[in-house]
């Protein structure tokens, strides 16, 4: 029986894009359903009653949520190709640590750059955001990917932020390429992969989306 896979998502979400990248890495077909986060569908509310958030993966009727938990699930179920986590337990712990770091630090600091009114909070967010990216760049080192020779778990967790870079740069008034050239080289390398380029949203559309939200929040 063929697997039935449905992804509840929202096109600008870097978290949803992670799941799209993982599904593409595994060569999986799925039904994509766009959610209106201002008017959540009954399906979303039923499938993720605890957090009511996207992404939600529904595999043969059963829901899985939290983007990196979904990615790990995908990696375990479809383990016949493109492994995202390494086999060695220590390297797995390291990969989980860095994906967790991206989740804990990058998103919240990035939000301060885009969604706060100009001022001290935005400056702090920008400074911490750049520090986070620099730390990640050091972790990458001279490897082509965070997964070493191969695109892996940490690459999935971070690459989807790259389509938001233009928006962070625009509102934060800084250049990520100037601050972290190796990291930008890494994003370009990732974008050469079909699984990434077909899953990431266009940076200019993201910028327009952010502008729309800022107007709605009354901060534009």
The helix (run of H) or strand (run of E) holding residue 134 is: helix 120-140
Residue with Cβ nearer its own copies (89 or 119): 89
Q: How far is the CB of 35 from its own copies (least distance, A)?
A: 19
* Rounded distance between C-alpha atoms, residue 181 and residue 57, angstroms: 34
∠ CA 156-160-162, nearest 5°, is 125
Number of residues in contact with its own copies under rule CB under 8 A: 21
6 forms part of the interface with its own copies (CB under 8 A):
no
Residue 137: partners with Cβ closer than 8 Å, 6 or more residues away: 180, 182, 183
- In the DSSP assignment, the letter for residue 163 is G
Judged by CB under 8 A, the residue of 4, 97, 178, 219 near its own copies is 97
Residue 65 in the binding site for its own copies (CB under 8 A): yes
- Strand (E) or helix (H) holding 56: strand 56-59
Ramachandran quadrant class, 32 (left: phi over 0; alpha: psi -120 to 50; beta: rest): beta
CA distances in angstroms from 147 to 113, 162, 206, listed in the order given:
29, 17, 27
Structure tokens at 177: 């390429």
Nearest approach in angstroms of CB 171 to its own copies is 26
Selected range binding its own copies among 37-45, 84-92, 140-148, 191-199, rule: CB under 8 A: 84-92
For its own copies, give the closer residue by CB, 1 or 50.
50
Applying the rule CB under 8 A, the residues between 34 and 53 that interact with its own copies are 50
Q: Can residue 217 be called a binding residue for its own copies (CB under 8 A)?
A: no
Among 76, 121, 177, 220, binds its own copies (CB under 8 A): 76
The span of 3-11, 21-29, 90-98, 169-177 binding its own copies (CB under 8 A) equals 90-98
Please give the Cα distance from 211 to 67 (Å, whole number): 25
Residues that bind its own copies (CB under 8 A): 50, 59, 62, 64-66, 69-70, 72-73, 76-77, 89-90, 92-93, 96-97, 100-101, 135
């Amino acid at each position: 029986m063929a697997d039935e896979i449905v992804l509840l998502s929202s096109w600008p979400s870097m978290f949803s894009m992670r799941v799209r990248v993982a599904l593409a890495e595994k060569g999986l077909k799925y039904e994509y359903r766009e959610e209106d986060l201002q008017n959540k569908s009954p399906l979303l509310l039923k499938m993720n009653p605890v957090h009511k958030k996207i992404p939600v993966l529904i595999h043969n009727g059963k829901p899985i949520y939290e983007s990196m938990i979904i990615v790990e699930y995908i990696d375990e179920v479809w383990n016949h190709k493109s492994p995202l986590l390494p086999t060695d337990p220590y390297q797995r712990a390291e990969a989980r640590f860095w994906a967790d770091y991206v989740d804990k630090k990058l998103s919240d600091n990035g939000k301060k750059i885009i969604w706060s009114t100009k001022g001290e909070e935005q400056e702090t967010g920008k400074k911490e955001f750049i520090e986070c990216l620099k730390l990640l760049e050091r972790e990458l080192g001279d490897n082509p990917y965070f997964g070493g020779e191969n695109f892996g778990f940490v690459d999935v967790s971070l690459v989807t932020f790259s389509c938001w870079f233009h928006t962070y740069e625009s509102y934060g008034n800084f250049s990520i390429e100037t601050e972290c050239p190796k990291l930008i080289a890494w994003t370009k390398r990732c974008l050469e992969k079909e699984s990434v380029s077909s899953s990431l949203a266009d940076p200019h559309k993201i910028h327009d989306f952010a502008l729309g939200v800022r107007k709605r929040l009354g901060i534009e």
